[in-house]
Chain A
Amino acid sequence: MATDVLMPQMGESIAEGTIVKWLKKIGDTVQRDEPLLEISTDKVDAEIPAPDAGVLAEILAKEGETVSVNSVIARLGASGEAAPPAKAEAAAQGAAPVKHGDARVQPVEPLPSIPQTEQAAPQPPHAAPSPRAAAVQAAPSAKTEVDGKQGRSSPLVRNIAREHGVNIDEVMGTGVGGRVTKDDILHFIENRKAAPAAPSVPAAPVAPAPSVAPVAPAPAPAPALPVQAYSVGERTTIEPMSVMRRRIAEHMVLSRRTSAHVTTFFEIDFTNIARLREQEKKGFEERNGTKLTFMPFIIKAVIDGLRVFPVINASLEGENIVYHHDLNIGMAVALDWGLIVPVIKHADALSIIGLARATQDLAGRARNKQLKPDEVSGGTFSITNFGLFGGYTAAPIINQPQVAILGVGGIHKRAWVVETGDGDAIAIRHIGVLSLSFDHRLVDGATADNFMAHVKKSLETTDFSTLI
């Protein structure tokens, strides 16, 4: 009887882990609690012990792969169990073994026709345990097969399916036993948008009778993106993405797919604050041991705005709007090797001094890899400051599962029209653009703009001198 080995949850907020190294090979006998593999998560690395004694029968996630917490990464069989169906499939196809689990799908071999399930039945002719046969043994009835596929998809895949209104059964799975992997469903969604454009793309919905056979794993869906027209050689360098890089890539793409992104831009006159900073920054740093930047003022104004427009501090869960009573503000920090968003918890309880200390502390520890897992989770709103690189503005990507993110552009001196008692005049003012990307599923333009107008007014008219 097989025992599943799951990716464990190493911390409340940690949703996935990366396989670093398998300590045992397929076919090895392991004792219960013997170290089986090494994993790495955002902050914590660990050795995972075997949950039971047995033989390592299947490895579903290879070294370097990242999988969701609780997904199956390996299977242990009782000693002497037969080789898994995967081997049989490989033998049947006569091609390189299909990678298992949430593998990056490799196009195995170009097949001339769409392998509809019914057509797959007669193929492949002589494999002893054909994939169909094997799967049929495992799942003899249509209903079981359907349930089986659903049941064997990871929670991440099921989430994606649910959010996009996709019936997993319609998606061709390339994982073992017809499991739908993350790549499978993402390609499916891409191609669904691309409509019937590419009939040669087998990732198009499998014929409406996913009844009998498992979808053949071998004809992997062609990647939705065109394959690069270069060949690996002297003029290219190949570098696998780091764990953080892959996470960022996945997060960004998933965010764009999830939220209906709209960005609104407001120009803010920071002159009063800039002058206050000039006067006070030296004394402030001496008294409080912390630099005084524009950020604490911006955060304060944002918090005031969130109190008046709480929907911008909310999130969407299924059909429910979840209003968060805490105001936990994430501050994006650029790192040499990537990007991370530590969170200032209870930001509404902090004074300007407290916010200055918190931002400096979190940024410093982010750069030194000293953040704790719960310091990078639980955010309800995020701020990203790209102004320090000199840019004018940008449209940031929302940090899921939040519904808005504020981008802070460069604050520069500009010639500006000011209204005085004697009429309009041109003056030199410190102007910066704040851009709010928001999720139009929940937040309408009017709300977003009213929120930004509130923030603008707060920044331009509050007397901050009493608060330093």
Chain B
Amino acid sequence: MFFRLFRCNNPMRACLYDYLGLTNYADAHALQEQIHERRKNDDLPDMLLLLEHRHVITLGRAANRANVLVDDTRRKELGVEFFETGRGGDVTYHGPGQLVGYPIIKLAPERCDVRRYVRDLEEVLIRTAGDFGIEAGRIDGLTGVWAADKKLVAIGVRISRWVSMHGFAFNVNTHLEYFNLIVPCGISNRSVTSLEKLLCAPLEMESVVSSVTRHFGEVFQRQMIITTAIKNHEKILSLPHDPDFRGTGTRDHHRPDHSSSF
């Protein structure tokens, strides 16, 4: 297997990554689940999926339905999809212009600490924002990355057998008005912002992707390797696997795992 080659030659663990562009939430969710399963079995190396979703509102396990402020009819009129997921956290919005990252990495043996994982993700994005001249930081008691008291990055993860899933949503050129359809992460008294809003100019997603991956490698001590294998994920999924495997589904499975809220 190609990843074993890297393991032998290089003490730092490899992490494959790619930017997949605009991807349906359902497809991305299914892909995540399948990669996650294989990662648990060490059939795949660490991976970082970077992409954008079409307009969608998603609910985490801790979600309060009341935080969705629009009814189904209106939501459909606006072309916004809806999903319930197994990640931690409340309700959030994804859409074009927002860089979504799904690190599917094994935290064992030395990073088996959920809070540390979330803080490390925050660190990656704080450093990325810094590259663009934004001074972003954390707010005590609130997950995510903030700039001038406004939320720049939302984080919601799920960790199962010390392999991570879901991840972060970074407002780069997001259409912020869609956040009016929800109470973001259940926090009603602070607003959301984006790099574009703070810098008064849209950004090139490529340069943001490049910055994120570099800082991810630094913070998580991974060697970041770009690969087209994720785009051609049939190849990944054609590796030996259990044909009767049904996937982890959404909220109802009972495996012991850890979810971290926003």
Contacts and interface: CB of A to CB of B under 8 A. Distances in A.
B134 A354 contact: yes
A88 interface: no
Interface size range of chain A in the complex: 10 to 19
B197 A351 contact: no
B148 A357 contact: no
Interface stretch (A109-117, A218-226, A342-350): A342-350
Given A346-B148, A348-B148, A349-B148, A358 B133 contact: yes
Contact of A350 (B150, B193, B198): B198
Interface string A397-441: 000000000000000000000000000000000000000000000
Contact of B135 (A349, A357, A358): A349
Contacts of B132: 354
Interface of B: 130, 132-136, 147-148, 150, 193, 197-200
A355 interface: yes
Contacts of A358: 133
A351 B130 CA distance: 7
A227 B235 CA distance: 89
9 contacts: A349-B134, A349-B135, A349-B148, A350-B133, A350-B135, A353-B130, A354-B132, A375-B200, A467-B135
Contacts of B199: 354
Contacts of A346: 147-148, 193, 197-198
A352 to B, nearest CB: 8
A345 B130 contact: no
Nearest to B147: A349
Given A349-B198, A350-B198, A355 B148 contact: no
Nearest to A358: B133
Interface string A357-390: 1100000000000000001000000000000000
A13 to B, nearest CB: 14
Contacts of B197: 346
Interface string A151-178: 0000000000000000000000000000
A107 B193 CA distance: 56
A345 B150 CA distance: 14
B135 A351 contact: yes
Contacts of B147: 346, 349
A349 B147 CA distance: 5
Please list the 5 inter-chain residue pairs (A to B) with the smallest Cβ-Cβ separation, ordered nearest first: A354-B133, A349-B148, A351-B135, A349-B147, A348-B148
Nearest to A325: B149
A358 B130 CA distance: 14
A30 to B, nearest CB: 41
B148 A351 contact: no
Nearest to A327: B148
A351 B197 CA distance: 15
A415 to B, nearest CB: 36
Given A354-B132, A355-B133, A357-B133, A349 B200 contact: no
